[in-house]
Amino acid sequence: MLDNCPKCGSLFVRTQFRDICEACYKEEEKLFEKVYAFIRKRENRTATMSQVVDATGVEEALIIKWIKKGRLQLVHFPNLGYPCEKCGATIREGRLCSSCISGIQKEMTKIQQEEERQKQAKHQTTYFTERRKDD
C-alpha cells in the first residue's frame, strides 16, 4: 500500500514489515545499534529506561517500539519495560499490567452476574392474589 512516511512525509510502500520509508528505517537501525550497544555492556544491563534514553539520546517511544516488536529481549535487561496502556505502570509483557487485568476481569464478572440476574428476573412471574373483605 502506498503511504506517506509518518516521520519524514515521503512516499513509500507500506508493508506488514515496514511502517516507515527506507531512509527513516536506516536511521532507526543506526539508533537501534546505538541503544543495543549501550545496554549490551555488562555495566549497563540493569539500566532503566530513562538511563538508556539519557545515555543514547534515543526517544523512549522508539525503544518501546523495539521492545514490543521483540527486537529487544527484556529477559536480558531486568529494569527495562514499557507503560501499561491503561494506567501507565511499567510492564514487561502484554498491553496491560496485572492490576488493570484484574480490575477488568472483576468488572466483567460483575457485568455477567448482573446480566444473569436480569435474565432470571425477566423469567420470574409473580402472581398476586386479592383478598376480599368478607373472607
Predicted local confidence at residue 135, as pLDDT: 56
Please report whether residue 79 resides in a domain.
no
Angle, in degrees to the nearest 10, between helices 60-69 and 49-56: 120
Please report whether residue 111 resides in a domain.
yes
Please report whether residue 126 resides in a domain.
yes
Please report whether residue 106 resides in a domain.
yes
Predicted local confidence at residue 13, as pLDDT: 92
Contact 19, 6 (CB under 8 A): yes
C-alpha cell at 94: 502484554
Please report whether residue 117 resides in a domain.
yes
Please report whether residue 78 resides in a domain.
no
Please report whether residue 59 resides in a domain.
no
Instruction: Indicate yes or no: pTM above 0.75.
Output: no
Q: If the chain, 135 residues long, is cut into consecutive pieces of 10 residues, what is the mean pLDDT of each piece?
A: 92 90 95 96 93 96 92 89 92 92 95 89 70 68
Please report whether residue 116 resides in a domain.
yes
Domain count, the chain: 1
Give me the domain span that covers residue 107: 96-134
Predicted local confidence at residue 6, as pLDDT: 92
